Chains A and B, each alone.
Chain A
Amino acid sequence: MTHQAPNPGDPNYDWSDPHGFHHDAEGHETHGHHTSPWQLLVGILGALLFFTALTVWVAKGEVWLTETTDFPITQLWNVLIAMSIATIKAMLVMMYFMHLRHDNPLNTWIMLFTFLTFAVFLTFPALDIANRDAVNPFKQQVAVAGGTGVAQKHYGPEGDTWTGISKVDWLREKQIEKDIEKYGADEGEWQYWKHFYDEESHYHHHVHRYVREDLPADSILWDSKNYFARWEAEGGGHHGDDHGGGHGDDHTDDHSDDHSDDHAADEHAEESHAEGGDHGSGDDH
């Protein structure tokens, strides 16, 4: 710190401010009790609301671009754009609502050091986990950074179960078993996958992009065999596409509560079909 402490021997020494923090060289108050004009505060609120709308709109635009053009917006850009807008918003809040603009600069320094610390904290673990195989590539085969997701043991309401498959797979198998018990062998499995694709088209808006091609070897969708075609043939794929490519805001979670309301779900899907447009089912990627 380059700050020069005043000398108490000085006749102009201010005893109520022994370190000269409150005054600049000319003796004016440098910070402290700044009152923000209300017009400014309203303006900042407006800007914050604008940037909130912007970030939502940009995210939807990115989805639309990715789905309809050959110019997919990758995750990196998704994060970068969203975080840039969030940073602008945060700066506005800190500078004006939290008065950093007119406050002791020390408080700004504290925040800057905090964010610097945060950056260090973020960089090294990410660097490590992304580059476990950087020096010895053979390690990639034996060490899966971040874990495999395949648990040896699942904790459930019925107690711990030793399975050797991922929890998601395990839950799916149990649900299919339940459905088979309820609807019979063939019909049970169909019921499961119908519900699966209903959920998917409900929440994900577009059906999983790997559904036709490029299925990764470990994708659970291999199990669905030809149920997807049947589901599409029954009109499931046209659910809710009339909103122009965005995530629907009007959905509620009525589908997912319980499996016993299948009929209600069917009706819902058909209604949507009746009013739905004729966009593709999101399988164009």
Chain B
Amino acid sequence: MTTIDPTQVPELAPKKKGMPWETYEHGHHWRTAEDEFDAAKLGMWLFLSTEVLLFAGMFVAYAVLRMKHPEAFINGSAYLDVFYGGLNTVVLLLSSWTVAMAVRCAQLNHQRWLKINLIITLICAVAFFAIKITFEYIPKLSAGKAPGRFFSYPYAHDPHEPLWWAVYYVSTGIHALHVIIGAGLITWVLVRSYMGKYGPKNYAMVETAGLYWHLVDLIWIFLFPLLYLVH
């Protein structure tokens, strides 16, 4: 018969008091909270590498098709407005910065600014989307500059212009999907930060959601010159 020391058994130990982030217990299969934090980041980075390779497919398609039909890409890119593309770049960079600041605030227990930064990020996500749809997708689609079989713009020059639009819509579309997913993650983190879940001892979720959001930014950093600055 073994005697059980209650202080040694996690289930029996008295509950600690404090903010949720202070009383956070790491998963039972981890040795330390440090390991768990590191693993969460490692997992996220691996996931980001899969995301990069997902977009790699679009970049390869872009490269090969542009190599074969440069005129189509030059002509097609001319229909895009650098102003809105640039504006969206600025919006995303700004949101990336606020996310980085949010991680910093969580590390330093600035609860108020953590939330404010996350809210600004969300606003930027919505702004990105609004600009994309109002000033880019809707006018172009209504002019017939649509991908594939929906292409009906009669004033195109190059026989391969529908292909350009396919590349444009698929790559920006998948990117937009990632913006939505990222915004969802940020919302989740925001809700939980109102519950006081994040602080210096536990901010893995802020960090990993932030990493995901930075990826959205990273992809756009490459998409912007490739789509808008072709000549």
- Taking Cβ atoms with an 8 Å cutoff, the residues of A that contact B are 15-18, 21-22, 32-33, 35-36, 38, 41-42, 44-45, 48-49, 52, 55-56, 59, 62-63, 66, 73, 75, 78-79, 82-83, 85-86, 89-90, 93-94, 96-99, 103-104, 106-107, 110-111, 113-115, 117-118, 121-122, 125-126, 129-130, 145-147, 149-150, 154-157, 166-169, 171-172, 174-175, 192, 195-196, 199-200, 203-205, 208, 218, 220-221, 247, 249-253, 256-257
Contact = CB atoms under 8 A, between A and B. Distances in A.
B194 interface: no
B84 to A, nearest CB: 8
A117 B68 contact: no
B61 to A, nearest CB: 9
A268 to B, nearest CB: 15
Q: Chain B binding site: helix, strand, loop or mixed by DSSP?
A: helix
25 contacts: A32-B34, A33-B107, A38-B101, A45-B94, A56-B86, A75-B230, A83-B222, A90-B218, A97-B97, A97-B99, A106-B42, A113-B49, A117-B53, A118-B53, A125-B60, A126-B67, A129-B68, A146-B67, A168-B159, A168-B161, A172-B154, A172-B156, A196-B155, A256-B139, A257-B142
A200 B100 contact: no
Given A16-B31, A253-B140, A90 B221 contact: yes
A253 to B, nearest CB: 4
A41 B97 contact: yes
A247 B100 contact: no
Contacts of A16: 31-32, 34-35
Contacts of B35: 16
A196 B218 CA distance: 37
B162 A167 contact: yes
Contact of A32 (B38, B45, B218): B38
Given A172-B154, A253-B140, A49 B93 contact: yes
A257 B60 CA distance: 32
Nearest to B217: A93
B75 interface: yes
A195 B31 CA distance: 71
Interface string B196-231: 000000000001001100100110011011100111
B100 A96 contact: yes
B187 interface: no
Contacts of A147: 68
Given A32-B34, A257-B143, A49 B90 contact: yes
Contact of A208 (B107, B157, B160): B157
A199 B74 CA distance: 15
Contacts of B32: 16-17
Given A110-B46, A118-B53, A145-B68, A94 B218 contact: yes
Contacts of B132: none
Given A171-B153, A199-B155, A41 B53 contact: no
Contact of B154 (A42, A79, A175): A175
Contact of B93 (A15, A45, A96): A45
